[in-house]
Chain A
Amino acid sequence: MFAFILRRLLTLIPMLLGVTFLVFVLMSLAPGDFLTPIKMQRDVPAELIAELEREFGLDRPWYVQYGYWLGNVLQLNLGYSWSFKVPVTDLIGSRLFATFLLSLTSLLFAWCIAIPLGVLAAIYKDSIFDRVSSFLAYAALSIPEFFLALLAVWFAAVTGLFPIGGATSIEHDFLSAGGRIADRLYHLVLPTIVLGIGGIAGLMRIMRANFLDAIRSDYVQTARAKGVPEGWVMFKHVLRNAINPLVSAFGFSFSSLLSGALIVEIVMNYPGLGTLIYHSLLREDQFVVLAAIMLSCTMLVLGNLLADICLAWSDPRIRLESRD
């Protein structure tokens, strides 16, 4: 088990190296740097610009800059944000948390909707309900995320029922502890729905198929033959077995949510990692981009690892091996 986890974590290293290297090359190829907007201001003397370029090593070739950066990362120093003027680690913490929270709630949302729907669709197979729900799942799968986010903003703007953007409201700091949690949840509602909807369709279809498989399996037939009540059969035997494969989907869907959050965050103005990356990319704030991309890659690998562990934990027949 530990050997397996260790091996998985070791594969992270070359991957992160490769990814950061690629990003570094790409960003150094991109025109301009974070000083470009400063050059446009009418009262910035040329001496200052030269000074800043020296200070940030922008006059060095990119591979030298990469070397410096790598050395710093090994000492757990993720660098310095040029546009925010603070260490990157300070910047990323709260953003990472916000994105993490959003991903978790959307996952929860997707599960809460998809599992009952999938089960019902399987029980009432080929009924109107089955057809309607599968059509809705289709629709959900086909709506562009950004369009849905746009519609959500529109909904919030027109009805005034939900806040437009942000993770907390203006008076957040002056609320009681319970009020603050409620406030946070209230701001999470729309982004959660928008981000979660895309995941429902896939989960629901898997759930439905699994449930149907389970219904036809031998042990269910046996249980029925023994005269166990139908409801109990469905819950105790069928549902539990049908959920198993979904557990493995957990890790994977988590990592995909994390990157899917990017567009939703930008359109809905949610202060998470996605907005940070987007704005940093536009501002060419190299170290922030590097750190954020590194984090999301790590998240991806950890998500997959989590999925494998979950699967092994829920189904002892599966042993952890380094699969090809």
Chain B
Amino acid sequence: MYSFLSIPIFLAAGFLIPFIGSSNAKNSRRIALIASFLAIVVSLFEIPSVLLNKISVKYMSGWMAPYGISVAVDAFSLVFIILASVIGFLVVLYSKKYITSWSVEYYTLLMLLFTGVMGVLHAGDLFNLFVFFEILSIASYALTAFHKNKKSLEGAIKYLILGSFTASFMLLGIAIIYGIAGTLNMADLAGTLGAGLSTSTAIAFGLIFAALAFKSAVVPFHYLKSDILEVTIPPVGAFFASIVSATGIYAIMRLYFTVFNAGFLTHHILILLGVMSIILGSLMALKQKDIMRLLAYSAIAQVGFVVLAFGMGAFVSESYIAGIYHLINIVFIDALLFFCAGVLVLKHKTTNMEHLQGVGTVNPVLSYGFLIGALANAGVPLTNGFASKWLIYVASIKVSPILTIITVVASAITLAYSLKAYSVLFLSNAKNPKTIKLDGTIIFPIVFLCIICIALGIFYTAGISISEIATKALLNNKPYILGVLG
């Protein structure tokens, strides 16, 4: 297995940076860049193996499942592994302008954050899933406080307390599962729990779901996302909004389909939570005067579309494909919007749109980048957001016209606040516009993501094909179980 190497690569980078980077701060960034690039390479190397064998498994120290620690990658997890490694590389590249001091600490924490994400995406048992989630969380708390000002520290402490609160829920849920099944290996659990689902299992799933939904900011666990993204530095905010949310959704779906063989009725809960996220996220984003909070609520609304699509999957099986495709798209869109807005925040040291009026007019790369991101977010044709939202609309018509009305109105509201943000930042007349000079470390991530957003919109069949392969791997857990247990 090649993609598993991304975990030791990031871990080794995280430990090497304090030693090598302390003598020359630029070395810390170089090590982080090399590690991120190698992670992309090893993830891509995994593609042939997963396409051929459906699953790639590694048993740590040769101990077979369910007794030893196993690491498993199928098509569903590989899509997220590749996404995480690509976005991670772009974040490290983009961070150059932001990190002028404390770079050793920053890149060390970033490597630990990436380790946590990769670990969750590779985990084959619940306990390692929890461990890597905690690594991800602890690095997130520290990165939230990176500005070291009052607001960042307040945000980080809130995140720490709420994160620990929800982590205890997850641990309690895992303990209940272990008490029922006597195993934590996900493939083994699928066979053990599948026979008869009980009240205890439902409670355990609910507790674990709460913890994972907090990471993904699914309503009613969305409260902290806007507070965190307002105070954290933009490259980290981009990673939180895109990959950390997607990792939470991945873990929910992995447990839901592979481990718990979720019942039909639970889809109603997903539909309910998806609709609540869409409505609340869209309406709250409309009200915002802070650009980062606006993008945070927008991200909450888009995650709602994904959760709704997964909920509708019980009635229309193509909805699962729509959900995965939309999740892939919102990773790129959220990263693009945060990257563009982040440059303005860096230059003008404020996130308040009243003070940022017209400041983006001086740079066409930022202007076009934000416009493409805004249009993709709203689901305007020619962008990737349209392709995936169209699939969600079509699925919702078959389930209930009310869901179609909600999703279409929410897309209209998304267009409203996205264009509001664009016109305030890029179309207004600024009093004293400051020149913004961008170097390749900022232009490349923005241009790359713009190309992806347009390409996945025009060549939508590629996105649908990838999502179909991932959906088949997710819904059919037999190859996963057989592959892991042997």
B is a partner of A: no
- B residues neighboring A (CB under 8 Å): none
